[in-house]
């Protein structure tokens, strides 16, 4: 079974600081990787995804993530955070089996607070 | 209009009551999912359905049942609600042909008292 581990449950940063949220997964086969964001009071939205190709993927709102296969990692980065980035961030993985994708497995989430 | 719609958005129910959460989608996707979100635990998969005739248990299916009434509708039932089923519930859809990106509903906040 696949699993996802997010390293930090709570992160507090000041505006303009750089951000890196860690995500590691355990699964030996082909995976699709995702980062979702949940702003206060809202539903989850997709930030970015990796299916194949360039391991450095760029998403919305200046976020990017790098897939490092050898480390089973998919860390989320942003060079300069804003107060509006305050939210819960979820890393997720889906595996391929039998020609189709299975349900998503989520990490426990990282609560990011940006201080003005 | 939202692509994935959940009803109700909020519900308070008593222990032992039966409750149904409904999900409908206009994406035309074949796959639908029910997750619950608890603080500190992230999202956990309850049930998923790959098409109308296919229902699969997820990580935490005990105490829940589902019905896939049509390709666009996937309902989640709590036969006899208990307080530890208090959570935020999300329905999601994905398309098996184009990959596994999931589209989420806005969530249903369920409180069992």
- From A42's Cα to the closest Cα of chain B, the distance in A is 7
Q: Which are the contacts of B96, defined by CB distance < 8 A and separation ≥ 6?
A: A100, A101, B30, B31, B50
Q: Which residue of B has its CA nearest to A94?
A: B100
Whole-angstrom Cα distance, residue A96 to residue B56? 16
Q: Which residue of B has its CA nearest to A2?
A: B59
pLDDT digits (tens, 9 = 90+) for A50-86: 888 999 999 989 999 999 999 999 999 999 999 999 9
Whole-angstrom Cα distance, residue A67 to residue A77? 12
Residue A85's pLDDT is: 96
A-proximal residues of B, 67-86, CB under 8 Å: none
Which of B33-53 are b and which e, b meaning 16 or more Cβ less than 10 Å from the residue's Cβ?
Answer: bbbbbeeeebbbbbbbbbeee
Mean pLDDT (whole number) for B66-77: 96
Number of Cβ pairs < 8 A linking chain A and chain B: 54
Interface residues of chain A, partner chain B, Cβ below 8 Å: 6, 9, 32, 34, 42-46, 49, 51, 90, 92, 94, 100-109
Mean pLDDT (whole number) for A83-92: 92
> Which band of pLDDT confidence, cut at 50, 70 and 90, is reported for residue B99?
very low
Of A46, A103, A109, Cβ closest to residue B33: A103
Residue B66's pLDDT is: 97
Is residue B100 predicted with pLDDT exceeding 70? no
Contact A109, A88 (CB under 8 A): yes
pLDDT digits (tens, 9 = 90+) for A24-35: 998 877 888 889
Is residue A98 predicted with pLDDT exceeding 50? no
* β-strands A100-101, A87-97 pairing: antiparallel
State chain A's mean pLDDT as an integer.
86
Which of A84, A88, A86, A79 lies closest to A17 in space, CA to CA?
A79
> Which band of pLDDT confidence, cut at 50, 70 and 90, is reported for residue B85?
very high
Subunit contact B99:A51, Cβ cutoff 8 A = yes
Which helix (DSSP H) or strand (DSSP E) does residue A56 occupy?
strand A56-58
> Which band of pLDDT confidence, cut at 50, 70 and 90, is reported for residue A6?
very high
> Which band of pLDDT confidence, cut at 50, 70 and 90, is reported for residue A88?
confident
Give the distance from CA A90 to its chain's centroid: 5
């Amino acid at each position: 079974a696949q699993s996802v581990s997010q390293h930090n449950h709570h992160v507090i940063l000041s505006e303009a600081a750089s951000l890196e949220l860690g995500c590691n997964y355990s699964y030996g086969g082909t995976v699709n990787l995702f980062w979702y964001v949940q702003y206060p009071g809202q539903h989850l939205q997709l930030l970015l995804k990796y299916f194949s190709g360039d391991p450095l993927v760029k998403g919305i709102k200046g976020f990017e993530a790098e897939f490092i296969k050898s480390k089973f990692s998919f860390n989320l980065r942003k060079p300069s955070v804003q107060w509006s980035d305050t939210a819960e961030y979820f890393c997720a993985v889906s595996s391929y089996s039998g020609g189709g994708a299975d349900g998503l497995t989520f990490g426990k989430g990282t609560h990011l607070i940006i201080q003005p | 209009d939202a692509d994935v719609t959940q009803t109700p958005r909020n519900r308070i129910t008593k222990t032992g009551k039966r409750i149904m959460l409904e999900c409908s989608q206009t994406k035309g996707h074949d796959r639908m999912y029910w997750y619950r979100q608890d603080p500190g635990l992230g999202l956990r998969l309850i049930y998923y359905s790959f098409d109308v005739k296919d229902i699969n248990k997820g990580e935490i299916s005990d105490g829940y049942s589902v019905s896939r009434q049509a390709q666009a509708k996937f309902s989640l039932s709590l036969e006899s609600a208990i307080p530890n089923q208090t959570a935020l519930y999300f329905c999601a859809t994905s398309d098996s042909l184009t990959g596994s990106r999931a589209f989420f509903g806005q969530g249903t906040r369920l409180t069992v008292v």
